[in-house]
Amino acid sequence: MSFASPLFLWFFMPVTLVTYWATPRRLRNHVVAVASLVFYAWGAGPYVALLASAILVNFAAGIAIDSPRVSARGRTAVLVGAVAWDLGILAVWKYAGFAARQIDALSTALGLGHGPVVDLALPIGISFFTFHHISYVVDVHRRSRPAQRGLVGFVTYITMFPQLVAGPVVRYHEISAQLADTARDRYADFAAGFPRFALGLAKKVIVADTVAPIADAAFAVPSGEIGAATAWVGALAYTVQIYFDFSGYSDMAVGLGMMFGFRLPENFARPYSACSVTDFWRRWHISLSRWFRDYVYIPLGGNRRGTAVTYRNLLVIFVLCGFWHGAGWTFLCWGLYHGGLLVAERALGWDRPPGGVPALVLRRAATFLLVVAGWVLFRSADLSQAAGMLGAMAGARGGGLDEFVLFSLDHRRTAVLVLALTVVLLPASQSLGRLLERGRDGAARWAVTAARVAVTWVAAPYAGVLVAAGTFSPFLYYQF
């Protein structure tokens, strides 16, 4: 069930909100937990059993780890077992098919015949709820937060439908206190959350879904035939699409969380305004970067054990980050690409803010181009297609626009693409989401009022019309 579907917008969300508000405070987490399981079962069907098994294992592990009767060695053993269980689920359901294809290719190349065949459907949201489980058992083991003693509170954290399928990645210590605080102001929460939800819906339906056909047409051109103009238009269209699609989902998730009284972490901070790739990763998918920092980078030693270890840790993190996004060589190379860029920036001292406006402009432009090139790897079906597009973008092949790309560039899509790209030129601090949340004084209040009116009464209704017309598509990050 997509947030941008008629079923969700006009049935599931209002019914769940009304039920939540009408329920006594002590039972509100029960409403969220049940609604979240229904939401997941609706989209994932029988895979809800897989989610339930992971929930029960990690809930029991948390209680054991937090028990004073369990020794330090026993607590560590339970932690290792729970993390192994979580990663095992992820490995089987997300990566077994990829591993089988590599074994088959190697076996065939060696003349040994075909290897094993594994073809498992990917349960939606598996990467996200796996990371939530790991965060929970690690935080409890670190004694940073106590374990959940009630199953309902734990189910609410893991399955909370605003963030269950595509994040943000909510670390347990960020929300554990909120799970216990059910004395929420439903009117203030709704007033704060609905404009944010409406902003996300508009970003997804009006911008991302509008430019998606341009990117699809460009990436459908055979890699040996694609020209420079087509490659650049396709890369820029996908750059716009993935940002407005994913940040739109995150805005909707944050807004939904607010309407239910939860404050979920921010996930974006104008990433295309970054002045380095290091800065980009402080602004893009922030919750994922923080998860890797807390649970992988720092335990590996972070930057405390010398330059060589720091570089190694950065590469490890981004290989894992790439592979987390998908079981494919393109994702692995995308992670290596970004990890290599971060290592190079740290070695050259370019990870620090530039001095002066000219240097800032040049660094922002260079970073944007590097990110666009990375998105070609991310979007391509295989490395051959990525090489063809990147080669065309580098000038290896001339040529005008492909006829299907030209057909996709009607007046409305072209206007939306151009307007969306101009966002890159705005100051890095100008974030509409933050304006909606934090503008409190003077001119900011007028700006907030204007933004709320535009989003709530103009953009959101128009997006609703488009949804009713059946023009929405699934969120890109549902596949991860």
Rounded Cα distance, 386 and 402, in Å: 17
DSSP 26: G
CA dihedral 387, 272, 5, 189 (to 10 degrees): 150
Contacting residues for 365 by C-beta, under 8 A, at least 6 apart: none
Number of H helices, E strands in the chain: 24, 0
**Catalytic hit among 285, 325, 338, 411:** 325
Rounded Cα distance, 123 and 107, in Å: 28
The separation between the first and the last C-alpha atoms of the chain, rounded to the nearest angstrom, is 15
Active site residue 114: no
Percentages (nearest 5) of helix, strand, coil residues in the chain? 75, 0, 25
Contacts from 290-299 at CB under 8 Å and sequence distance 24+? 290/169, 290/171, 290/265, 291/131, 291/135, 291/169, 291/171, 292/317, 292/320, 292/321, 294/135, 294/171, 295/134, 295/135, 295/138, 296/320
Q: Which two tokens stand for residue 310?
A: 């720091």
Q: Which two tokens stand for residue 296?
A: 């992988």
DSSP 112: S
Rounded Cα distance, 183 and 409, in Å: 51
Q: Which two tokens stand for residue 470?
A: 């059946």
Contacting residues for 280 by C-beta, under 8 A, at least 6 apart: 271, 274, 367, 371
CA dihedral 449, 14, 464, 459 (to 10 degrees): 10
Q: Which two tokens stand for residue 284?
A: 């893009």
**Residues with a known catalytic role:** 325
